[in-house]
Amino acid sequence: MNALASTNRNFRHAARLLNLDSKFEKSLLMPYREIKFECTIPKDDGSLVSYVGFRVQHDNSRGPMKGGIRYHPKVEHDEVNALAQLMTWKTAVVNVPYGGAKGGIGCSPKDFSVSELERLTRVFTQKIHDVIGVNIDVPAPDMGTNAQTMAWISDEYSKFHGYSPAIVTGKPIELGGSLGREAATGRGVVFATEALLADHGKSIKGLTFVIQGFGNVGSWVARLIHERGGKIIAVSDVTGAVKNPNGLDIPALLEHKEKSGSLSNFDDGDMMNADELLIHECDVLVPCALSGVLTRENAGDVKAKFIIEAANNPTDPEADEILSKKGVVILPDIYANAGGVTVSYFELVQNNQHIMWDEEKVNAELKKYMAGAFNSIKSMCRTHECNLRMGAFTLGVSRVAQCTLLRGWGC
């Protein structure tokens, strides 16, 4: 099942629990706007190359639409549409005043020079500048993009609309970015994990963790769990997988990855088959990579007691059912990885007020938002007698539905 079908299925289940009218349900599911366009740039050698770009704006009933821009070969319409919809429910779950959007280009960033990436980003911005804005749609970094990408977007946008630092979030500190934003998604994952474990009478300290993905999110999750006394026994990324039953030395692994660009040949661990990482014995499994990694083929072999969805859509619906029957507790993506968009909201607040918070305040506010959202999800679970995924979906969908009705639907 692809990402869009999976997301639609979860939405419809939540809509039934909420007893939404079928026409209203269809309206909530329908994107506000979908854009597909060509991005053609000259390469450094003078040749021309073209790529397909997307921006899907799903819903704006609760505020400006918000969502990342990813550069990845697998970027395509259905994936972007699903991720835009997830952003709508995600922003509602953590109760920040945004709607949902997503965008990207189907390309491989590692195949570009820095100057080529800049040209591609500026062309992308030229194609969407008239449908984004501080009060319309605010992009942010995602897979394959970063603060520098946001700086280029901000600069290109300013050529058409004047200086507008709040047009993007996740930008460099020097250009109005927020302290703590780089670590925000990973830190939010850890705050969410702490809330879940506390609800089960446990804490991070002493538990074993397996982390799939060691990019921005995965590396911050690993670092923060390690600092809290958690034992990370296996980690993987596109370069390989490494394990140590006694716990990996995460600071040393981060240094090794920074120097070598790979997890391979790490002295304090043994290489393992990356395909076996998801079914490795552990207390907590944290998928931080691509969608659809937990499927009906491998779900039955998963040994973790808790799964924290730091990635978007990592669990297929079939796998979800299998894992639930096994008693595995899954913390859903629309809550678990909402730290990034929450701190993006803090960044926008700082831009609008022309002030800068210190990092301690950013982290404290993030913890408060994540704790509050978890309590709200648990309340929905009790009301609808459902699991955490449906608790999160019913919470997000109900908040969007309420705002849509208050603004006047069907008129």
Token pair of 231, please? 């034992």
Residues 192/331, Cβ–Cβ less than 8 Å: yes
Tell how far CA 260 is from the center of its chain: 26
Sheet holding 306-308, edge to edge: 270-272, 240-243, 231-237, 208-212, 284-287, 306-308, 329-331
Residue 397 is classified by DSSP as H
Unique residue bearing structure tokens 């009301």: 383
Nearest Cα to 306, choosing from 325, 282, 289, 342?
A: 282
- Residue 139 host element (H or E): strand 137-141
Residues 154/145, Cβ–Cβ less than 8 Å: no
Burial 251-272 (b: 16+ CB within 10 A, else e): eebbebbeeeeebeebeebeeb
Residues 6+ apart with CB under 8 A from 244: 233, 234, 268, 269, 270
Residues 6+ apart with CB under 8 A from 233: 208, 209, 210, 243, 244, 245, 246, 247, 248, 280, 282
| Rounded Cα gap, residues 148 and 287, in angstroms | 26
Residue 267 is classified by DSSP as T
User: Catalytic pick from 36, 43, 74, 102?
Assistant: 102
Catalytic, 303? Answer no
- Which residues are annotated as catalytic? 102
